[in-house]
Amino acid sequence: MQLNLIAFAVPLFVSLMLIEFIVSKKQGKQLFRFPEVIANVNVGIGERLSDLFTTGLFYLFFQWVYEHYRIFTVPSGALSYVLLFIAADFVWYWYHRLGHEINIFWAAHGVHHQSEDFNYTVSARITVFQAGFRCIFWSFLPLLGFHPAAITLMLLIHGAYPFFTHTQVIGKLGWLEYFLVTPSHHRVHHSSNPEYLDTNYGDVLIIWDKLFGTFAKETVKPIYGLTKQLGSYSFLWQHFHLFLETGVAVSRVSGIGNKLRIMFGKPDVIDPDIRDMLEKRLLKRNTGTTPSANLYWYISSQTIFTVAILFFVILFEHYEDTGGIWIAAVFILVSVISTGAMLEQKKWVFDLELCRLILAAIYIHAALPYPFLSMSMVVAIVLVVVFYKSLRTFYFNRLYVAG
């Protein structure tokens, strides 16, 4: 069978998250909060899903650069992989640093820093926008003459390391602190403490930060998240609020030069009050109810179900037709939007549930075209539409408590 073994990264990393949770409990540390975990995992699901459609394109882009514009041709061998590792880590440092210092890049990378917790689930907060910008920076590798196949292998290995630096259960690591990015170094990077801002950009090697003057030791307890905390678990808001803030700031000034200075300037040139204005217009929450225990059970089950679907879609992608993959992808995307909206108590969540039911019916009909099964799904959809108001009321009464 032609299975996509990359799919097994999903259960592997989920298992490591669970192990970290158990260890943190034994250490007496409260490192996990339910809404933060769900928000982090939702972003990770979105990123893993987008990889189905972008990884091949990134490879083709690297191949195009290599075949037409490479400056050198780096021969294969052990030494070339050592050089590739150093080059990849160096490029990452500058990609990461500029991701904090340039607004248009920060709009994509900032999603990774929104969580006010710091644990392995935070490592999942990578967006498709961030992956796109990262691909542009990594195109320097085929330009230098490294083969795209070698680059792909190196980036898989190189990309796995940062997962393990997103934790508070591991202290300082002695002599490794001198040259590797450790959890201690990365805790500093993710903090919003004034003394820690704009430091420790390294991915595997910390030497670049020491060389370019952006290194800081962990001396005081970090406070995680943004300097102006987001306070939202909405999948959509998390992905787009920084782009919207940048867009509003750009629209407020005249002249191409001024607009470009905002787009490519540092985040502190954007008026922080813009977010408050946008939240009042676009991020209206229902404050008349509070979540019930049923809500957390339901979100948990839906998240587990969505992760399972993601795993099987990736694993069997070579056996799925294009239409089936797209239907499954939209179902997964609607699911993560839905659970984020549940945490925000959005009134339109029930409509998303109806969309998920319709998508499930279409997928099941395509995969298992049995008349009885298809008719059952149609009947279920018709019943939901006919009894829409009463089912919607029942739905919200089960998930939320008035008052």
The pLDDT tens digits of the residues spanning 245-275 come to: 999 999 999 999 999 999 999 999 999 999 9
CA distances from 226 to 95, 229, 266 (A): 19, 5, 15
- Of the given ranges (14-28, 40-54, 85-99, 360-374), which has the lowest mean pLDDT? 360-374
Q: What percent of the chain has pLDDT over 70?
A: 99
**Percentage of residues of the chain with pLDDT beyond 90:** 79
Indicate yes or no: pTM above 0.85: yes
Closest CA to 283 of 237, 245, 240: 237
- Interval 57-77: pLDDT, tens: 999 999 999 999 999 999 988
Average pLDDT over residues 195-201: 96
pLDDT at 287 over 70: no
